[in-house]
Structure 1
Amino acid sequence: APLRAEDIPEYLQRRFRMEEELEERRPLMMRAKLVFEGLLDSHRDVDFVRWDRATTIEVQKTDTVADLRRIVRELSGLAEEHQMLWQFSARRNGTTRVDRVLDRSNDEDTLEVVKGEAAVGDPLSIFVQDGRGKRVDPEVDVYVAFKYLDEESKELKYLGAMVLPKDILIGDIVSTLERRLDLDEETERLEVYEELTKFLINPLEVDQTLSQAKVGNGDILVFQKANTDQSPEDLKELIHAHYEHLRNIVDVHVRRLEDPESDLFVLEVSRKCKLVEMAARIAEGMLEHRVVSEPVDCNRIQLYKHNHRGRPQELDARSERAMTLDSMVVEVHAKRETAKRPHVILCVELMGYSLADLKEGKILNFNVRCPVARKVHGDRDHQVLVPSGINATAGDALLA
């Protein structure tokens, strides 16, 4: 007999109706990413934003900036009158930076129009700042971020960002930072560069204003102690080494073997990291991100290479010829603000035994058929690790 509408369960009918409504609304919707201030503090990359930690929402194309402020209030508790919203824009060099402030004069602008004016692909990206006590005049002010390159640790530290007048001398900024770092005025001075991309920096003159140096919203100034014994070639090599390190960083997406399409968490790791080291990092990440409630022996973690077309491929992380992440990196060539960094997707399975011990033994599979024992062990297959050189029997398995 043909299937009739009344033959379909009510819960399925509701689901079908919801899917139809969603499909009808889809052309009217657009995505937006909200970046809150806390996401800027620890990031060291050229965009100083962790896009994977941004809050992604769906809004209507006809929603206005005022509507967006109400959504921000609901998500963060920050009242509309205290919000300072900055729009990110994509640049031709592949970076994405804070571009312009959306003040009250923009409240009636639709989000579709706002996104179009920035020449940014989907999604619309907004930086949400607590604007209490802050005022920005786009004609005379500029939003600038600061980093400090520590020669000893070879680490580029994010110091923060602030709104400055465009006519301020770069030398005045340098002097202020020297005092805050408690540097000796006679022997310790700072040099300043503009960070353009991961591959390009530009030295700035201290007798120029920000406007003269063409420093705009979202630009990054990098400070470093001047070294009189250091040649320009040495300095270039130091900075090149730092950016070479940054270029080696990849995002490792960690997923469960049984759910290979959803991230548990994402780690920043060097592409030269060996798989056995990766297992140790994942063990730490599982505890940090509360995937487990207590520390996990990294030797119990089995790694799998993600496979979009089938079952993930098992990896032998503990063999003498164990590979590095480099051979599995998915390179990214897109020049977009939403382009992810090169990445690796690893699936993990937490085993009931140590994989390191497995090299010196074997796994014995067995099933309990005794009715009494099955009440304790259940009607399922069991595994036990038996050291090599032992002739294991069923009795050994039961004792194990």
Structure 2
Amino acid sequence: MMATFKYFGYFQDQLAPLRPLERNKDDILLFFKLYNPEKEELRYVGRTFVKAGGRPLDILEKLNEMAGFQQSEDLFLFEEIKFEPNVMCEYIDRRATFRASQLEDGDIICYQKAFKEEEDKYRYPDVPSFLEYVRGRQVVHFRRLEKPKEDEFCLELSKQHTYDDVVEKVAHQLELSDPSKIRLTPHNCYSQQPKPQPIKYRGVERLSDMLVHYNQMSDILYFEVLDLPLPELQGLKSLKVAFHNAKTEEVSVHNIRLPKQSTVGDVINELKGKVELSGPIAELRILEVFYHKIYKIFPLVEKIENINDQYWTLRAEEIPEDEKNLGPQERLIHVYHFTRDASQTNMVQNFGEPFFLLVHEDETLAKVKLRIQKKLQVPDEEFVKWKFAFLSLGRPEYLQDSDVVATRFQKRDTYGAWEHYLGLEHADSAPKRVHQLNQNRHTFEKPVKIYN
């Protein structure tokens, strides 16, 4: 229900000047508003002079006449003192004189029918509670998290509504019986996007806490409908893991949800029941990929509670048999795709899916190229255009077929293995796409630019 509140400056439907009233020396001019708790409406009904030594009890009949009530109707009276920065609206003792209640010329008195048994059936049963509501009233635009640009619905709420109040009203709007399955995410006023982290269950006290962003107040909230109650879900850790085949192609994306104290090994065991493997004894590993580079192979014992999949891509893949037991003459190297801008020859852009490759100490580039072509299944007419380079901190050193690849990777661990890699230079023919592994947290895949 949309509440109505009419300010003192807009008392009349037509802005005609008020006719002056005759007054005596001890008269006080008071203005009156009538509150209807059923309609949630506060409106101007009139003005009159009263004697400073008189009492509200003396004018109840006149107030009933202004309101259109029966003459015997019992009334409650309140003085509307101020609205900002806080509401001040005080109960008026009907037996005390106007002077004793410190009422003066121009003061506003709000009145309503006295309560009977029906007080509890109104959202805002009296004038002070209604004014508090009006001051804190906020229309909030609710959007589905997966559709962050489209309003799903709007609700008129109070900034003083509690966390439970808000999710209950959202659940009611969605005809959802369990409000605890609603998860809300605040709005970033600067990026005009959802914030990365959702609001925890009862993690804020009031609606105002949900809407504030630094020194700005938003009017947007994003929502999700969960398959589990949020308190239960918060005891779990959700990870989005992309499963890739031997050609490094993404096959499927899986949302793995386990207790926070679970390990990477537990994630792998869960994945094995969801993906197609080469055999019953196949082993998996999980990699951390960012900007088309591999930054980490997660140990099986690492706790998933500490893993961040908000900005990093988690990739699962089978471990090739020849990589399971590396010999002293073998080395596991990083292999990345890259291009160079024709107009700026010193700029390197990585793209595509990075991968590991086992090379032998005496293996030439010619042999390595054959294995790469077989792994990626690149046609001859395309592969012949590819160039191969050793890159260290973004600086390419082009290789010849006779070069021994492994020699370039010896004693190169100062800046991290991901910055020393075998680069495959060729055109990026893959269609451009926004790859959102975590669909609710807005992770985007972009090329990285490195300048010499």
Same fold (TM over 0.5): no
Which is helix-richer, 1 or 2?
A: 1
- Bigger relative CO (Cα 8 Å, ≥ 6 apart): 1
Which is strand-richer, 1 or 2?
A: 2
